Chains A and B, each alone.
Chain A
């Protein structure tokens, strides 16, 4: 079952203050099925994170299509109305980054419970689940009710993972989620991802050390320019 169908996606940036344009990636096409894990490879600056952000619509593409097979039918995320994208981000598409977006004076557990509450769970159930996942990712219990702004990078990242992985999604975008994690938290992350994958979540990920998730990877795309002529690549449909 197809979840995502990306066709000839092209992204570049116009830097007005320099009067220049910079290409990020060009003519990317691939499709992704439910429960499939796609690894994006390429050297720094090859456009891996840019591709993830373009799929999530944090970046606007120049041309091409991002056809997402939502529960409500196929929708082109590159052109979808803002309200539809907001809705899908709340219900079907998750994005795990390396950074926590903490809000002033909001506790770790409230932050983690938020996606569940917004999806309609009662405050009690959401909080109980939030505590479960904070524990699972190894956040110390003393910190659950504290404000994450002052946490260490690793602790913040655990809160971030608990928050973004608490609600199973149809499509999950992962931007180096293991970067600042200790061994135990990395294991907890891989376990949770495997669980979501088995439930049918399709995933696209960027990892500094793909070895962390080796057992989950089904396919790879190399974004390094001229890594291999497109014609010779089986993973890229032309």
Chain B
């Protein structure tokens, strides 16, 4: 067990404690806890079915765990977020938390314009002036390195890499305190993957956005994360500094995982 922080005195942004969730007989999450500091990137790795995406969706308040607590240290945000009603959840997720899904169909309206997809976020947060909506949508798309001449094209006409950029623009449009990424580069070809990774790294360094990223691609996790959490069968088997988990894995499962990497 490591000591409590002594030098970094800021409070954690995110604290999740003992989150458990069962789907029928299947225990998807058992006692998962995580702490993330402002500006930090937490990577979560694990095989399919390890519960990593369920945990991420819980952080996006799409799932209601059976037990456990989840707090965000933000102004006007109090108590266990799992206790919020549907409306409060929707407002919180629309304004403070951004998410990028592996499947753009989950995050985007495929037949609406890309700029409209981003602006929809701003509308939910109460912005009504058309010029502001458009400017902010353009800024977010630009920060996501989306080619602006295509901002009015619907995502269905765009490549997978471009669709991920629209999702990313939508997620960061309101400068969220927390950005959640669920396999953001899985399914993209390697050159596009590199570009998306580069964009994420820039956002992380320039805007200091706190991120939780789930991927089964260890290279992606290693490139982006400060800290890594390894999950298996709904449990956290190991967590630590990214280089430590990859270079000196303690748990048998993590060793197996690291040694299996190409």
A interface residue numbers (CB < 8 A to B): 13-17, 53, 57-60, 70, 72-73, 75-76, 79-88, 103-106, 114, 117-118
Cα distance A114–B193 when bound, in Å? 21
Known interface pairs A17-B252, A83-B40. Does A104 touch B3 (Cβ–Cβ under 8 Å)? Answer: no
A103 cross-chain contacts in B, Cβ below 8 A: 197-198, 201, 223
Q: Residue on A with the closest CB to B244?
A: A58
Are A80 and B194 CB-contacts (below 8 A) given A59-B244, A103-B201?
no
Contact, CB under 8 Å: A81 / B241: no
- Residues on B with C-beta less than 8 A from A16 are 251-252, 255-256
Q: List 23 A-B contacts (CB under 8 A).
A: A13-B248, A16-B255, A17-B252, A17-B256, A17-B259, A57-B241, A59-B247, A70-B7, A75-B6, A81-B4, A83-B40, A84-B6, A85-B241, A86-B226, A87-B7, A103-B201, A104-B190, A104-B193, A104-B197, A105-B194, A105-B195, A106-B201, A114-B205
Q: Does B27 contact A (CB under 8 A)?
A: no
A-chain residues with CB within 8 Å of residue B74 when the two chains form the complex: none
Interface size of B in residues (CB-CB distance below 8 Å): 32
Q: Is the CB of A105 within 8 A of B6?
A: no
Residues 174-226 (chain B) with a chain A CB within 8 angstroms = 190, 193-195, 197-198, 201, 205, 223, 226
Which residues does B use to contact A, with CB under 8 Å? 2-8, 37, 40, 190, 193-195, 197-198, 201, 205, 223, 226-227, 240-241, 243-244, 247-248, 250-252, 255-256, 259
Bound-complex Cα distance A104 to B7 (A): 32
Out of A15, A79, A104, name the residue touching B198 (CB < 8 Å): A104
Partner of A84, one of B7, B195, B240: B7
Q: When the two chains form their complex, are residues A80 and B2 in contact, meaning their CB atoms are under 8 A apart?
A: yes
Cβ contacts under 8 Å, B5 to chain A: 80-81, 83-84
* Contact of B8 with A87 in the complex, beta carbons under 8 Å: yes
CB of A105 within 8 A of CB of B37, answer no
Dominant SS among interface residues on chain A: mixed
- Known A59-B248, A105-B195: A79·B201 in contact at CB below 8 Å: no
Task: Please give the distance in Å from A186's CB to the nearest CB on chain B.
Answer: 27
List residues of chain B with CB within 8 A of the CB of A53: 247-248
Name the residue on A nearest B226 (C-beta).
Answer: A86
**A106 and chain B: residue at smallest CB distance:** B198
Known: A58-B247, A117-B205. 17 other contacts (CB 8 A): A17-B256, A53-B247, A70-B7, A72-B6, A75-B7, A80-B5, A80-B6, A81-B3, A81-B6, A83-B37, A83-B40, A84-B8, A86-B40, A103-B223, A104-B197, A106-B198, A114-B205
User: Knowing A83-B37, A84-B5 touch, does A14 contact B250 (C-beta < 8 A)?
Assistant: yes
Considering the chains assembled together, what is the distance between the CA atoms of A147 and B180 in angstroms? 29
In the complex, are the beta carbons of A73 and B6 less than 8 A apart? yes
Contact A60 B244 (CB under 8 A): yes
Who on chain B is nearest to A92 by CB?
B7
Q: Which A residues are in CB contact (< 8 Å) with B227? A: 82, 86
Among B40, B205, B248, B250, the residue within 8 A (CB) of A58 is: B248
Measured CA separation A34–B247 after assembly (Å): 29
Q: Which residue of B lies closest to A75 (CB)?
A: B6
**Residues on B with beta carbons closer than 8 Å to the beta carbon of A88:** 7
Closest CB in chain A relative to B229 CB, distance in Å: 11
- Closest A residue by C-beta to B249: A16
State the Cβ distance, B49 to closest chain A Cβ, in Å. 21
Residues on the B chain within 8 Å of A86, using CB: 40, 226-227, 241
Q: How far is the CA of A79 from the CA of B5 in the complex (A)?
A: 10
**Cβ distance A61 to chain B, nearest Cβ, rounded Å:** 10
Give every chain B residue within 8 A of A80 (Cβ-Cβ). 2-3, 5-7
**A1 and B239 alpha carbons, distance in the complex (Å):** 35
Provide the bound-state CA to CA distance between A72 and B7, in Å: 6
The chain B residue with its CB closest to the CB of A71 is B7
- State whether B3 touches A82 (Cβ < 8 A): no
A82 touches B247 (CB 8 A): no
